[in-house]
Structure 1
Amino acid sequence: MHAYETRIQTVEVREAGNMRLRTLADTQQFHDYKGMAARLGVSSATWPLFGQLWPSSIHLANKVATRPLDKKLRILEIGCGLGLASLVAHQRGLQITASDTHPLSSEFLRRNVHLNKLLPMRYKYGRWGKNYNQQAKILGLEVLESRFDLIMASDVLYEPDMPGDLAAFIDQHSEPNAEFWLVDPNRGYAGRFGKALQEHGFELLENTELKEDPSEHNAKGFSGRFLRYGRQVVHQ
C-alpha cells in the first residue's frame, strides 16, 4: 500500500471537456520510497507539490485546448506535475512529451492517462539548475535529451535563481526555431526570466493578463499572465 493518500478530481478544460486527475489528498502527504526523491534533490518540503492541481496548470491546459497547433510540432511540457496540459495535448493527438523531476510524476501521469481513457504518453526526467541526470539514470529514469518545437510550462518561476537556469534549460531543449509558453501567477521573476531568455535569442510575442474569480479549484481566485516567446533563426 502507498503511504500517502490520494483523491480523484475533475476539472473542466475549455473545448476539451472534463479531465479526471489522480492527485495527492493535500500538501501534507509525504512518502519518499527508498529515498529516491532526496537523491534527486527533491526536499520533504517540496515533495507533495507535484501532486496538487495548481490554477496555473488549468490556464495552460486551456491554452493548449484552444490554440491552433500543427500536429507535426514536437511539444514538451516541463515541470508537468500531474500533466494536465500534456493530457489535453495528448487528447488532441499532438506529439507531446511530459517531463518533471519528481520520481512519482510518471506514475501519476500513467494513472491519469488511464483515467481519461487515452493511449500511453511519453514521459522523461527533466530538471534545470543543478544537474541530477546521472543520478536519475542510476535510478533507472529516462532522461530528457531531445529538442522540441514548442516547450510549455506553468508556475515554474518560484525561486530567485530559476530565471537564468530555466532559460538555459529551454535553450538546451529547443529547436533553432521554437516557441516557449508560460503561465506565470505573478511571483515576481518573469521580468528577469524574459531578459535571460532574450540572451538565447527569444523575444516576447504575447503577454496576456489572466484573471479568474474564486472557484472550486482555486478559492482565492487567480491573477497572472500568459507569456509566449519565440525564436527564429534564419539560415544563410
Structure 2
Amino acid sequence: MPGYLTKQDSVAIAGAANLTIRSLLDKQQFSDPLGEAERLGISSALWPLFGLLWPSGEQLAERMATRPLQAGERVLEIGCGLGLASLVCHRRGVDITASDGHPLADSFLLENLRLNALPPMKYRAGHWNPPQGAEGDGPAASTVSGRFDLIMGSDVLYERDARATLAGFIDRHAEVGAQIWIVDPDRGNRSAFHKQMAVHRFEVVEERLDHPALDDRPAYKGRLLVYQRPALAG
C-alpha cells in the first residue's frame, strides 16, 4: 500500500474460528498525504494505532464469540480499529455496526471482510472526541446514528477526556436498558470515566480478565467494565 506497509496474520480467537486479518506492519507506519487525520486531531504518533492488533481487542473478540445471541439486538463497536470483535459478531449473524474516527479504518475493515469471505458489514464514522469547534457538520462530526442495545469497545480510555465526550457519545447512542462493555488494560483514566458515566446514571461492575502466559497466548492484565443504568421503579 502506498505510504505504509502491511502484514497478514491468522488470528486465533478462543471460542471461534480463526480470522485472517490485514494490519499495519508495525507502529512506525504513517501516511496522511491529504491531511485527513490531522484535521481530525490524529497526530502522527497516534495515526498507526488503529491498524494494529491489541491484546484488549482480542479479549473483547473472545467475549463476543461466546456471548449468547439476543434476537433483534443492535450492537455498536466504538473505536473498532481493525474491527476484530465486530468481525466475530458479524460472522455469528449479529446486527453489528463498527465505528472508528480514523479515516482508513473503513478500508481496512473492507479488506478484512474480503479476506474472510464475509458479506458487507455496517460501518460508520464515530469520532467522539473531535477537535474543538468541529462537533457540528464536517468530517470530524460523528455519523453514528440511532441507539443500540450493546455498545462495546476495547482500550478506548487511553487519553484523558476532560470534556467527557466519550460518556456523552455513549449516552446519546445507548438504548433504554443498554449494556456498555469496555475492555480496559488498567489504564489510569478508568476512575474518571466511571464518574463521567455516573452523570448519565450508568452503574459499573468490573470483572478481572487477568491470565498468565500460555503456550499460544501472552499474559494479559485488565478488566471488563460493564455499565448499565438501573431499572426505573414502576
Q: Same fold (TM over 0.5)?
A: yes
**Following the alignment from structure 1 to structure 2, what is the Cα–Cα distance between the partners of residues 123 and 40?**
18
Residue 33 of structure 1: how far off its partner (Å): 3.3
Compute the displacement of 1:115 (Å): 1.1
Output the amino acid matched with 1:224: G
Alignment of 1:86-125 (within 5 A): 86-125=86-125
Find the counterpart in structure 2 of residue 135 from structure 1: 138
> Conserved in 2, the CA contact under 8 Å of 1:157 and 1:163?
no
Q: Which amino acid aligns with 2:207?
A: T
| Equivalent position of 1:231 in the other structure | 229
Q: CA deviation at 1:177?
A: 1.8
Q: Which runs of 4+ in 1 moved over 6 A?
A: 215-218
What is the TM-score of this pair, normalised by structure 1? 0.90
After TM superposition, the structure 1 stretch with the greater mean CA deviation from structure 2, 171-180 or 46-55, is 171-180
Match of 1:181 in 2: 181
Bigger CA drift: 108-117 or 207-216?
207-216
Is the 1:37–1:102 Cα contact (8 Å) retained in structure 2?
A: yes
**8 Å contact 2:86–2:98 — kept in the other structure?**
yes
Closer/same/farther in 2, CA of residues 17 and 133 from structure 1, 3 Å limit: farther
Q: 8 Å contact 1:40–1:135 — kept in the other structure?
A: no
Q: In 2, Cα distance between the equivalents of 1:172 and 1:217?
A: 40
Distance 1:147 1:180, change over 3 A: same
Any residues of structure 2 matched to 1:63-102 within 5 Å, and which? 63-102=63-102
AA partner of residue 175 (structure 1): E
Distance 1:225 1:61 in 2: 14
Q: Percent identity, please.
A: 48
Superposed displacement of residue 29, structure 1:
0.4
RMSD: 2.2
**TM-score normalised by length of structure 2:** 0.91
The answer to whether the Cα contact below 8 Å between 1:51 and 1:81 also exists between their aligned partners in 2 is yes
2-side partners of 1:216 and 1:133: how far apart?
49
User: Which runs of 5 or more structure 2 residues have no equivalent in the other structure?
Assistant: none
Partners of 2:144 and 2:86 lie apart in 1 by: 16
**Number of residue pairs matched by the alignment:** 231
